[in-house]
Amino acid sequence: MNEVKETLRNIEQNYRLFQQQQFTFITALQRTRENAHDMIRPVASIRQVQSYMDHHCNNSTDRHILSMFLNICNDLSKLCQNLETLHPGNSVTNGILERCKLLLSHSNDLSAIRAKYPHDVVNHLSCNEAKNHYGGVVSLIPVVLDCVKEWVAHTEKLPRHMLCNVSGGSAISEKTAPQGVPARAAISPKTPFVHLGAQTSNSNKDYVQAQGSKHVRKKCLIGTENRSGKFKSPWKPPGRHAF
């Protein structure tokens, strides 16, 4: 999720630079539309902007600003693909991503969308430009950015174990292994440990029996009688030493 937020911040920074040059962007579209003899229909798709830049752009300034717009759209499209691999999705997050993918489709008609408050990109256009020509294309990036932020906000409320890494691998559920027990220990067979315990128990029994036998033999030796028939005890009173 941190990687997603960092990518989103970078895209927003690039968009702020682009937004500062909105007048240059509109001028470039106006000039390329004139070169393409396409002054009637509105600029209504990413593919249309790409075509203007590839075939009807005659100066580096127009090419730069049109390329900047297309690069931001491409970065947003890649980010949406990463979002799909990061989270399996629910009805809310899947709906947001589907809207983003539709908006960023090169053939999608953008003419009807409008960025609303707090965005003011449409307000910088004249009434004719906003209504008939550029209202949709200038609204595309801020609308998609809002959708991505909404996706992040919904996803952060979901349980952490439902997240996946960006490369597509799923996260390990907390129920896979007991808390504090490594995954390998949880899935390894228990049979060897049972046999080891049995072997240890048998060894202990053999050791006890051996010690018991030695103890019996020692008692027998201690309790022997001498030739005179009297019982000979190895015990000596305290303070006396037998040599």
> For the whole model, what pTM was predicted?
0.66
Question: Which has the higher per-residue pLDDT, 242 or 121?
Answer: 121
Element housing 30 (H / E): helix 22-35
Closest CA to 96 of 64, 58, 86, 164: 86
Please return the burial class of 156, using the count of CB atoms within 10 Å of its CB with bins 0-12, 13-18 and 19+: exposed
Tell me what pLDDT residue 187 has.
41
4-18: average pLDDT: 95
Q: How far apart are CA 56 and CA 29, in angstroms?
A: 10
Q: Which two tokens stand for residue 225?
A: 């009688």
Written as six digits, the tokens of 229 are 């028939």
Distance (Å, whole) CA 115 – CA 142? 7
Average pLDDT, the chain: 77
CB distance 101 to 93 below 8 Å: no
Mean pLDDT for 9-32 is 97
Other C-beta atoms within 10 Å of 11: how many?
20
Say whether 170 sits in a helix, a strand or coil: strand
pLDDT, tens only, 111-170: 999 999 999 999 999 999 999 999 999 999 999 999 999 999 988 887 765 555 444 444
Q: Which residue has tokens 């009805």?
A: 91
DSSP assignment of 87-134: ----HHHHHHHHHHHHHT-TT---TT----TT--TGGGS-HHHHHHTS
- Angle at which helix 60-86 crosses helix 46-56, to 10 degrees, equals 150
First CA to last CA distance, the chain = 86
Query: What whole-number distance in Å separates Cα of residue 192 and Cα of residue 190?
Result: 6
Is the sign of the CA dihedral 202, 205, 210, 213 positive or negative?
negative
Residue 107: is its pLDDT beyond 90?
A: yes
Contact 32, 56 (CB under 8 A): yes
Of 83-92, 166-175, 195-204, which has the strongest mean pLDDT?
Answer: 83-92
